[in-house]
């Protein structure tokens, strides 16, 4: 189902909203501005329906927030130090939008664009976007598609594809924030399992200054499920960024058949499993959500939602030594990243 809004987007055209449904009664809503996930309503065992995504009350409110709620992120998710790319003997300067660094593709990233709707029905929507040579400072023309599908076993399946005509680092993701208690309350009461043996420490700007660290014996060890709040802010690595906002190198190493993370609501009545072909997950505990316009009440508070963003480790273009696939996409190669979020009512 496609719906148009009366209020126009910045390009003067209406926002186009697509609703996906499955036989189990799950309902997912997206919009073409930013190829954004707006809502994910999951039927519960007691007959109620639980909203699991943070979101705004109206599409135009998404223009007034800087948390990237539910948006498709590109060309490059996460941070690039100094906004600089080294290509052989050349240094390219990207447009910066977080101090001297680039975050989530730059000041006019893919989250701030209208995507074209290529296919849409009750089960899937496929968006497309073209990014010209030099867009936000990146080299070459990039063409991308984002496919969002709702499966019968309550998975949101996200397939992100891209091709380039010049070498360029590519790291596409979706920036959904989840709260399995019904998009209210503190996610530090959720339990999390994250199947990763190492994580990437960062400084106060979210940039890595040292290499990967083992999670063993640290507050970053989620290999067995534990409350997010259990070891919250208990060490310098967390205190630098007001909580968790770190990339974890996954045990699955791109095997979509293995869950890489599991999250449980505080009442244990809803579980979410995460699967991905990406090498890493950025776990963000919503440390700076305060003031973000909210769907139900005025605004969200810090720690009202958590993000599990699939992709490469932060600042990967400047760290070819890290044990993950190369983030530079070459002409003639096809970029494909698949991530699935599955919801299981208990």
Q: Known catalytic residues?
A: 175, 309
Closest CA to 251 of 218, 227, 274: 274
For 237, the 3-state DSSP assignment is helix
Task: Count the neighbouring beta carbons within 10 Å of the beta carbon of residue 7.
Answer: 10
Residue 167, Cβ density class (10 Å: 0-12 exposed, 13-18 middle, ≥19 buried): middle
The token duo for 241 is: 């960024």
Rounded to an integer, what distance in angstroms lies between the CA atom of residue 107 and that of residue 128?
A: 20
DSSP character for 215? Answer: -
Cis peptide preceding 17, ω within 30 of 0? no
Find the largest Cα–Cα distance for the chain. Answer: 62
Beta bridge partners of 46: none
Q: What is the DSSP string of 5-74?
A: EEEE-TTSSEEEEEEEE-TT--EEEEETBTTEEEEEEEE-TTS-EEE-B---SSGGGGGG-SS-TT-EE-
* Residues 171 and 138: beta-carbon distance below 8 Å: no
Beta bridge partners of 33: 114
CA distance readout (Å), 159 to 109, 121, 136: 19, 16, 23
End-to-end Cα separation, the chain, in angstroms: 29
The token duo for 79 is: 């941070």
For residue 236, what is the enclosing H or E element? Answer: helix 236-239
The torsion of the CA quartet 253, 259, 260, 263, rounded to 10 degrees, works out to 180
Q: What is the DSSP string of 262-277?
A: EEE-TTSSEEEEEEES
Rounded to an integer, what distance in angstroms lies between the CA atom of residue 324 and that of residue 221?
A: 20
């Amino acid at each position: 189902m496609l719906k148009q809004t009366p209020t126009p987007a910045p390009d003067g055209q209406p926002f186009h909203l697509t609703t996906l449904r499955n036989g189990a009664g799950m309902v997912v809503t997206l919009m073409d501005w930013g190829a954004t996930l707006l809502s994910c309503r999951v039927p519960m065992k007691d007959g109620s329906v639980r909203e699991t995504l943070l979101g705004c009350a109206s599409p135009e409110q998404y223009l007034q927030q800087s948390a990237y709620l539910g948006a498709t992120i590109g060309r490059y998710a996460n941070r690039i130090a100094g906004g600089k790319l080294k290509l052989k003997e050349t240094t390219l300067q990207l447009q910066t939008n977080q101090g001297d660094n680039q975050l989530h593709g730059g000041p006019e990233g893919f989250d701030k664009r209208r995507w074209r709707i290529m296919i849409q029905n009750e089960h899937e929507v496929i968006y497309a976007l073209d990014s010209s040579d030099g867009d936000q400072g990146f080299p070459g023309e990039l063409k991308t598609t984002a496919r969002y599908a709702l499966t019968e076993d309550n998975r949101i399946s996200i397939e992100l594809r891209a091709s380039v005509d010049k070498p360029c680092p590519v790291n596409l993701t979706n920036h959904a924030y989840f709260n399995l208690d019904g998009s209210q309350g503190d996610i530090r009461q959720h339990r999390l399992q994250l199947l990763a043996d190492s994580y990437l420490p960062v400084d106060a700007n979210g940039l890595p200054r040292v290499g990967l660290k083992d999670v063993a014996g640290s507050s970053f060890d989620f290999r067995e499920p534990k409350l997010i709040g259990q070891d919250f802010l208990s060490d310098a690595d967390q205190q630098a960024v007001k909580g968790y906002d770190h990339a974890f190198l996954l045990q699955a190493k791109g095997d979509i058949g293995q869950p890489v993370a599991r999250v449980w609501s505080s009442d244990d009545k809803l579980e979410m499993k995460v699967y991905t072909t990406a090498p890493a997950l950025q776990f963000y505990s919503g440390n700076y959500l305060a003031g973000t316009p909210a769907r139900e009440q005025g605004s969200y508070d810090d720690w009202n939602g958590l993000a599990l963003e699939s992709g490469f480790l932060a600042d990967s273009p400047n760290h070819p030594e890290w044990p993950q696939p190369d983030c530079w996409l070459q002409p003639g190669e096809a970029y494909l990243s698949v991530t699935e979020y599955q919801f299981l009512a208990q």
